[in-house]
Structure 1
Amino acid sequence: MNNKLTETEMSVLIDKAVEGDKKALEKIISSVSDLVFNLSLRTLGTFHDAEDAAQDIFVKIITNLSSFRKESAFSTWVFRISVNHLKSYKKHMFANAPLSFEFYGADIENGKIDDVPDMTQGVEKTVLSDELKMSCTNVMLQCLDTESRCIFILGTMFKLDSRIAGEVLGMTAEAYRQRLSRIRRKVADFLGTYCGEYGGGKCRCMERVNYAIQNHRINPAQLDYANAEEIPVQTVIDFTEAMEEIDDLSQSFGFCKTYKSTARTKKLIEELLNSEPLSVIKNS
């Protein structure tokens, strides 16, 4: 977690927050804000959707805090609340227009990238290429069904131990490991076939920048990834038990980076903590 709070320290803060201590509540939410934001970003595909969903999750954490029985790590409980919310979240960009690996592959094979004029708006093409690389690989995860996406993210990005991940997802550790292995292979096979950045495919981000801008996949005026602050995953989640070695595919998933919560996310948290409805919740 962000501030490296021990479970004992977290337990004390939770008790204080449940009694109405606002400072304690702020510390709790701050400690998991990056975790919730990154999980939302990878699950939903875009920064704006991740920010909105994260706000909803923070509300659920706050309103259910008194029900946390301290039978597991607090971060495990937060993961469970977050995953359950994200699996049923229907307000994101891809909710009504799901992607598939077949569609993504066909676009790479058939997209008319040479027929597009310069649309870079004066932004360096290398910057736009990096933005496209991170955006494309993140959106690629939308080709997985929601539960498979969560399994991939928990195992590949957060590197959760299978017992903990299984607990979060409501399945056995063995079932989780088997599904994670199949999903990682599926993603790696796609990257190996099509992606020239993380595999041996023909697709090169630099060559597709203008095509991506034309199709509203990146926006030179709003470079979310370029403006985000990358942080080590260990600052987001610090489990003593790391994920077991599942396969030898880790080098294929270098795009699974973690970022600090955006300024908008922090503003939404501040507004939430100072809101009148929250005061009613805390005083109820």
Structure 2
Amino acid sequence: MRLLVKAPAKINLSLDVLHKRPDGYHEVKMIMTTIDLADRIELYELETDTIKIISHNRFVPDDNRNLAYQAASLLKKRFGIKRGVAISITKTIPVAAGLAGGSSDAAATLRGLNKLWEIGLSVDELAEIGAAIGSDVSFCVYGGTAISTGRGEKVEHISAPPHCWVVLAKPSIGVSTADVYRNLKLEKVQHPDVEGMVQAIQSKDYDGICNRVGNVLEDVTLRMYPEVAHIKDQMKRFGADAVLMSGSGPTVFGLVEHESRMHRICNGLRGFCDQVFAVRMIGERNHLD
């Protein structure tokens, strides 16, 4: 039996860091939403009791560093499953981009193996398992639009934002999330209006959403990586309605209401940035088959 599962990317419409926790993680409050840019996960059983990662992307590890591998391993150990699986990952989401590509691959693997191995877990149970793999995995199990707190694993769902285009541009650099957090000075940050963003989303107020995008990690990454600042400046100049870095970067996204302007922005960005995408927000939750 083979299963195909989509693993959509996410963007942060709002990302606030409240304080550093005793366990070394940072307490965050984020609004995340899924977008129609997705990896494709194909699962099929093996005759041997092993986990095999198949990917043609040289930046995707094929061992236990891979979050999809960790997802399969965790299910096998927790439920005593003695069956092997091959996990084929076809990447569309840029790697190390602030778009939760690895976390979404892990979440898709959890959802798919729950069906393939007939475990019978609910989406809430899968999300709880996902929290042990990575901070964004729980959200990616659910998909949709949500307020994420704790270190990102506590997920409260809200309604989907109004439909618009999302233009993404990723420079050809990687960003260390650990380095960004290490250089974050919490006493100096300007906290985004997370509650105002929630209200704007709930009331489908597109202008209100555009006026409230915010990410406390952005200033840190822009100082460390001038290429990201350049992309943000250009996206604003080309006419995006709102521009923000997603996660710890380096991907910058712009919200655009009109298709004609979306094409103009994409064409302008492709003049100096290799990875440019124009997608729609999904904003709706995943459902288990």
Structure having the higher strand fraction is 2
The normalised TM-score by structure 2 is 0.26
Structure having the higher helix fraction is 1
Q: Which has the larger radius of gyration?
A: 1
